[in-house]
Structure 1
Amino acid sequence: MGRGRAKAKQTKVARDLKYRTHETDLSALARELHGGEEVESDPVEDLDKWSDYADPQRD
């Protein structure tokens, strides 16, 4: 008992998400997914930064 109100609210939210028209900024989404305009770092520097954590027996 007591689940009726919670289920009704979940159903309302689900219907709202399903049928509401969304104004999606696809360019902003693409920038977020692709990391924006970050400057790529030097891969050698990245390896040097993590070399202390490497397993010495693995080489």
Structure 2
Amino acid sequence: MGRGRAKAKQTKVARDLKYRTHETDFGALAQELHGAKKQSSSESRDDEYDDWSDYSEPPRD
């Protein structure tokens, strides 16, 4: 007992997934599945650690 509310919620979610219209970007999905890199953010940054260089300790003499 006690499963009625959980089952009702699962049924609601299943119906929503089944009948909702999806705007799927199949190009982005294919790139993600094939392991393609995003070109916009990774190529625009030269050094990912450059932002943290201001926080490093100064060289000791």
TM-score norm. by structure 1 comes to: 0.59
Q: How does 1:34-45 map to 2 (within 5 A)?
A: 34-37=34-37
Paired position in structure 2 for 1:7: 7
* Shift, 1:5, TM fit: 0.3
**Matched residue type, 2:36:** G
In the alignment, does 2:13 pair up with 1:16? Answer: no
Percent identity (aligned): 86
Structure 1 CA distance for aligned equivalents of residues 12 and 4 of structure 2: 12
**What TM-score do you get using the length of structure 2 for normalisation?**
0.57
Q: CA RMSD in A?
A: 1.6
Report how far residue 34 of structure 1 moved.
1.1
Equivalents in 2 of 1:33, 1:23: separation in Å?
18
- Gap regions ≥5 residues in structure 1: 38-59
The structure whose residues are more often helix, as a share, is 1
User: Following TM superposition, where does structure 1 have runs of at least 4 consecutive aligned residues deviating by more than 3 angstroms?
Assistant: none
Q: How many residues align?
A: 38
Q: Distance in 2 between matches of 1:6 and 1:35?
A: 36
Structure 2 unaligned spans of 5+: 38-61
